[in-house]
Structure 1
């Protein structure tokens, strides 16, 4: 290991918690390890075809279907709708709808961009959103 490489804490077993924060290790688009440690619940979304919210996250952390606020510090906020769609009895999915397209357009989201949604205020479904643009890595 060279002196410029970072050391990361070991990954704990699934379901095992060592702190009260929500932590994960993921790879950035250029395969550089990222560490995200947040004291609030969060999820990541890779922009592909639709703005799906992990169903388990939605069940555990979101109060109800309805309005959500998507906040990007120093840029502003956008209103959208959160809903659980029932395709069939066994197939349900959670997603952002009404207002998502405006958010995506205003923030120049393209396929491959990564959004991190941190739930700041559960009672009002307020998310702080961070965006990692894929195009920034395309020229590397």
Structure 2
């Protein structure tokens, strides 16, 4: 079974500022917009960021495929950013990334996953958090 790691952050940045940070941090990643299912509470913004690694492509975030689902929820005076690092192996990550890209937002509990994942996916999350902190030093991990 594939694994994933979920983290939540809170920021006062608006959606435009968050998109700018994501655009700079994830400049070399492939970005897919995600759609939610009929039972999903739709976020304001939802993407899947993928960065293949390996022999022919130098990854930004460490060895192997990095794949992270990023959802931004508007809470009025602040935004909550949910980041889910996907997979346990290149094959599992590719499979889960394909499923998320083609079927929409993946419910973490429905996937039955709870343990840490590929280091490169975690590195992608860390890079996004670092980028957010550079613009908003008040970014807090809330989950």
- Please tell me the TM-score bracket, short chain as reference: under 0.3
Tell me the TM-score normalised to structure 1 length: 0.28
Task: Compare the two structures and name the one with the higher helix fraction.
Answer: 2
* Higher RCO, 1 vs 2 (CA within 8 Å, ≥6 residues apart): 2
Structure showing greater radius of gyration is: 1
